């Protein structure tokens, strides 16, 4: 760990960040493993280059948190085995803090993402759109590049007419995540000579037609990245302008590209592929819930007024009024807060955050004392136990 910390200290600098994006400066960040947290650049501890803390539940995944009232980027180093990747993720998550400090307001409505329609026409157009975006990026011929950009914009605008709310959601995700993946890419290429290998890895994610329509949110990361890379060729000083802009990334790109002309669309005959993707997208949701419902352990059902506080939008499967949170979520029951770091199913009526039932599986049976359940790695819940069997417990709160 000492070697990794020294390498981090030797590589994280304002000069490097500024090279990735104008105005981008180092922020508070932390790296952590299963036991320890190493916190850097935090103003509360500015007399130290870094401090060591005991890991708590708030340090989970690679994201941004408010630590000691300061926006802080965090990276779980147990998930990665190379400094280059860890460094690029520190840069990525630090950029999200930079966005917050820059008063970024163009965030997506995540509820639209969970309810994104599985539609034949949208999938067919979206496959064509993403292909044209990559062809525009990879073309070395100016005329060919302009032709592909025109086709890309025409398809995106066509989808906007057909699915305005959902394309707006995609635009918003691209706006926030595209630049973060752009600086991540800059950081990776800064630390690696394999620039072509890196770009090919991102391109694979962009052009994976099946995955792109099962995981809509994450698919927008890569379209956002390639929009940023195209902007590098269109407008050299675009980054500072974009930070100050109110436009989403797509419309900023469209405005910057002054040669746009609408084209006649020729939709490829890929009915078989699109139908397979459509069926697979639905089956993937059903498989996820089926796998969850077959989990080992004691099933705990909690019903009542439950408020969803925080969640991981990248790892949620939604089916009708039921959401499967694959990694974690934080809930509030009356005045008590609970952090659940395991798969959890939630059921709601109208508002995604107003939950009336949650289900999860426990490794150990809760301790039942009066009207309380004491649950290992969860906490204490007070309510009425309405059923208790050998493999399940249902409590209403």
pLDDT at position 23, please? 96
Residues 206 and 226 sit within 8 Å (Cβ to Cβ): yes
Parallel, antiparallel, or unpaired: how do β-strands 354-362 and 298-311 relate?
antiparallel
Task: Please list the rounded mean pLDDT of every run of 10 residues in the chain (397 residues).
Answer: 94 97 97 97 91 93 95 97 96 98 95 89 97 97 97 98 97 98 97 91 97 95 98 94 97 97 93 96 94 96 94 88 93 93 93 93 91 89 91 94
pTM over 0.85: yes
Specify the 3-state DSSP secondary structure of 11.
helix
Task: Give the helix/strand (H/E) hosting 352.
Answer: none
pLDDT at position 115, please? 83
Strands, E assignment, 127-264: none
> Tell me: the pLDDT tens digits for 130-151?
999 999 999 999 999 999 999 9
Residues 344 and 330 sit within 8 Å (Cβ to Cβ): no
Q: Which tokens in the block code for residue 163?
A: 């699915």
Residues 178 and 221 sit within 8 Å (Cβ to Cβ): yes
Strands, E assignment, the chain: 29-32, 36-40, 50-54, 63-67, 70-76, 298-311, 316-319, 322-325, 329-333, 336-340, 344-348, 354-362, 367-369, 372-375, 379-382, 384-389, 392-396
Of 283, 261, 125, 106, the residue nearest 178 (C-alpha): 106
């Amino acid at each position: 760990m000492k070697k990794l910390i020294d390498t981090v200290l030797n590589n994280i600098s304002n000069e490097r960040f500024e090279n990735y994006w104008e105005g981008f400066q180092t922020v508070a960040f932390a790296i952590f493993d299963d036991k320890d947290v190493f916190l850097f650049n935090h103003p509360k501890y500015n007399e130290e280059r870094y401090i060591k803390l005991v890991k708590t539940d708030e340090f989970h995944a690679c994201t941004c948190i408010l630590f000691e009232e300061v926006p802080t980027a965090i990276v779980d180093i147990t998930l990665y085995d190379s400094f280059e990747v860890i460094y690029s993720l520190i840069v990525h998550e630090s950029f999200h803090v930079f966005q917050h400090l820059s008063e970024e307001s163009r965030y997506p409505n995540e509820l639209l993402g969970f309810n994104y329609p599985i539609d034949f026409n949208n999938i067919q157009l979206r496959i064509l759109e993403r292909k044209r975006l990559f062809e525009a990026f990879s073309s070395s011929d100016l005329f060919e590049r302009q032709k592909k950009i025109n086709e890309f914009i025409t398809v995106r605008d066509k989808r906007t007419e057909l699915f305005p709310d959902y394309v707006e959601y995609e635009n918003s995700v691209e706006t926030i995540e595209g630049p973060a993946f752009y600086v991540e890419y800059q950081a990776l290429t800064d630390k690696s000579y394999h620039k072509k290998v890196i770009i090919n890895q991102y391109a694979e994610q962009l052009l994976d037609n099946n995955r792109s329509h099962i995981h809509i949110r994450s698919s927008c990361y890569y379209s956002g990245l390639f929009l940023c890379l195209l902007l590098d060729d269109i407008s050299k000083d675009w980054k500072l302008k974009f930070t100050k802009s109110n436009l989403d990334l797509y419309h900023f790109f469209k405005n910057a590209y002054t040669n746009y002309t609408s084209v006649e669309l020729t939709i490829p005959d890929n009915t078989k592929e699109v139908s397979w993707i459509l069926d697979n997208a639905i089956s993937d949701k059903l498989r996820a819930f089926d796998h969850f419902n077959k989990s080992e352990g004691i099933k705990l059902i909690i019903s009542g007024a439950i408020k969803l506080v925080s969640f991981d939008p990248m790892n949620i499967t939604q089916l009708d009024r039921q959401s499967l949170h694959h990694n974690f979520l934080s809930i509030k029951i009356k005045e008590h807060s609970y952090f659940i770091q395991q798969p959890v199913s939630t059921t709601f009526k109208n508002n995604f955050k107003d939950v009336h039932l949650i289900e999860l599986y426990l490794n150990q049976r809760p301790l039942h004392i009066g009207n309380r359940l004491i649950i290992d790695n969860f906490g204490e819940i007070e309510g009425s136990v309405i059923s208790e069997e050998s493999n399940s417990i249902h409590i209403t709160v």
